[in-house]
Chain A
């Protein structure tokens, strides 16, 4: 324990020394040139009204969907690949799914006490509305599809923890439905990315050609749906109890 405190304090001292040297003593020479040329370019061009940006009055969104649009698109693809990886590791055939469902119905029904459940219901409603406002208002205020989607995933997770996986499935959020919704979100993103090429002779992801804020809104909503249901899919797949999986895998070997 004494050694821990010693190590922590020495790390802290090193950290404070480095920050003192950079900010006050200016060893890296950042003080005389606070705005880098690239930052200046972005600040001057992000608000350009007609051709350069995606009609977003918010600088971060303008940069994310214009100068870094491909970044965000590929990020969506990476997320897609990792979810497909999870699904293919935990995949079940139809008979195995039936078996898993019959085994799950035999599990003892557990739920938390009344206070937790009532509070969770209230909090989930608040999180859903806030995440929708983050996602739908994302091109005007800080926020966007990914942020809203991850907040929404937390709401699903709270339901998952306070009630159970079966509550979600009874409400219609089965794996099949969730995969369908995820595919719909991805299709919306892809359609918006490709639309300028076919409709307006533009380039891929040149969403400023689309009328008004259509492009931005579509991308925001698509990302929101994709992230929400992508996370939910992983939680649903991971939520199958381990002993059920073991029984099924044993059946596969025999």
Chain B
């Protein structure tokens, strides 16, 4: 049973990893924000598998809700596209 949990954890966290990489590479900041909230969702699943429901409750609300909204507000005050290499 424990092995199964560890395997699910590894899969979920690697998906989160891939999405965080994609978010870093994305030049459209709004798309990057969406990718980063997908990554947060996967990490929240990881916390749930690690038997920390307290963290899941706070993490989902903060990382998917409040953080995303604050960054959207910040983006609205600058430019949407990241330019130049």
**Residues of A near any B CB (own CB < 8 A):** 4, 7-8, 11-12, 15-16, 19, 23, 60, 134, 142-144, 146-148, 150-151, 153-154, 157, 160-161, 231, 234-235, 238-239, 242
Contacts and interface: CB of A to CB of B under 8 A. Distances in A.
A231 B14 CA distance: 31
A165 B69 CA distance: 14
B18 interface: yes
Contacts of A60: 54
B54 A11 contact: no
Interface residues of B, number: 22
Contacts of B8: none
Interface centre among B57, B62, B70, B77 (most CB of A within 10 A): B57
Nearest to B15: A12
A89 to B, nearest CB: 13
Interface string B58-79: 1001100110011001001100
Nearest to B13: A15
A68 B17 CA distance: 31
Main secondary structure of the interface of A (DSSP, over half): helix
B66 A150 contact: yes
B3 to A, nearest CB: 8
Contacts of B62: 150
Contacts of A150: 58, 61-62, 65-66
Nearest to A148: B57
Main secondary structure of the interface of B (DSSP, over half): helix
B25 A4 contact: yes
Contacts of A234: 70
B14 A157 contact: no
Given A11-B21, A12-B18, A157 B57 contact: no
B77 A19 contact: no
Contacts of B18: 8, 12
B61 A143 contact: no
14 contacts: A8-B22, A11-B17, A142-B57, A143-B53, A143-B54, A146-B58, A147-B57, A147-B58, A147-B61, A151-B57, A151-B61, A235-B69, A238-B73, A239-B73
Interface in B1-30: 6, 10, 13-14, 17-18, 21-22, 25
Given A8-B21, A150-B61, A142 B54 contact: yes
Given A4-B25, A11-B17, A15-B14, A153 B61 contact: yes
B77 A157 contact: no
A231 B22 CA distance: 29
Contact of A16 (B10, B25, B57, B66): B10
